[in-house]
Structure 1
Amino acid sequence: MASGPAPDPFDDLLNLEDRFYDEGFCQGEADGTRAGQIEGRTLGLENGFKKFVESGRLHGKAVVWANRLSLGQSQEERDRHQLPALPRNGRLQKNVRMLYALVEPGTLSTANTDEAVNDFDDRVKRAQSKARVVEKMLHELATPGTVSGPSSSAVSRERNASSTGTPPPSA
């Protein structure tokens, strides 16, 4: 009874490289998966922190502006405050209220779902826009005439054009 050819004692040595490669691949894949999860979590925490810092910054601005609005404060109350009161302006009050509503901490969702993250990002972007509007309004109110006149870039273009002898570009 022939049992077939005897096993070659060098087969294990010839397959040694393949076996080490497979073991190394499996270990590398497991380590890479774990490292990727750690790196992804760290990146997510960093991005979330940045978003909430921006939300907090906007919330702080809204609170300060709301407190500076002169809504029924007596002269004595205004004198106690270090920051000057903002003038009465319905549009300014509406924008400050809207800004505060957009970044009010109690209404911002911290859920880790696509819908909640998109809603948070949308609200922060809208709040940034409202903050820019309020900042521009306050700048207009603080220094009237600067915004309604020609812009500084248009004035500088006219000056450059007159010094070079070329006509300014028509708008």
Structure 2
Amino acid sequence: MSPHQSQPSDDPFNTLLNLEDDYYNQGYAEGAADGALAGRTEGRQLGLEKGYQKFFESGRLYGRAILWANRFANATSSSPSQSSSTSAPAAQNSASEAGKEAQKQLPPLPINPRLEKHITILYALVETESLSTENTDEAVNDFDDRFKRAQGKAKIIERMLGEKASEEAATAGDGGDKGLTV
């Protein structure tokens, strides 16, 4: 190189020619930093939303398992006869109170050992004390597996009892047991 030729760094147009690249690199760096922050925020929001949905449905199945278990227990412990040593007015009062009490109770389930086994397994699958709330792959996979198995058990129980599917109740939009007939 001759001493009269100028260096590329001495070129006055060099900064203008590289201006686009400089702005691109600056924008990329700012976008990557903002994206990392927004990604964590959006990921957390999505995780909370999905976690809520899963635990909501799991809680609904837990409630149904308790309801079915209590209905099954009522079927096995109900006695068909009452004491006949009461007087007529007392018997009328107790009969009207018994009528009110009968209106508040759900009908008992048919006595069926297979049904009892399915209800017990469903309860064990969705029982809250043994469900892990850790955010690890193993805990999430265990929860998802138990949840899917519990949904299957609930469908079996529904079919055995002739009840409507739980998915219809969940998609009804009110979060209640609209599709549940007892």
Instruction: Report deviation, 1:44.
Output: 1.4
* Aligned pairs (5 A) from 1:123-142: 123-139=146-162
* Aligned pairs (5 A) from 1:32-47: 32-47=35-50
Instruction: Report deviation, 1:61.
Output: 0.5
2:52 corresponds to 1:52: no
1:13 maps to 16
Instruction: Report deviation, 1:59.
Output: 0.4
2:25 maps to 22
TM score, norm. by length of structure 1: 0.72
**Secondary structure of 1:71's aligned partner:** helix
Match of 2:102 among 69, 79, 82: 79
Match of 1:64 among 64, 67, 71: 67
Is the alpha carbon distance of 1:81 and 1:66 closer, same or farther for their aligned partners in structure 2, counting shifts above 3 Å?
farther
**When the two structures are aligned, how many residues end up with a matched partner?**
139
How many Å separate the matches in 1 of 2:63 and 2:110? 19
Instruction: Report deviation, 1:80.
Output: 6.4
Q: Which runs of 4+ in 1 moved over 6 A?
A: none
**Amino acid in structure 2 at the alignment position of 1:83:** L
**Amino acid in structure 2 at the alignment position of 1:54:** E
Percent identity reads 57
Over the residues paired in the alignment, what is the CA RMSD in angstroms? 2.4
**Amino acid in structure 1 at the alignment position of 2:119:** V
TM score, norm. by length of structure 2: 0.68
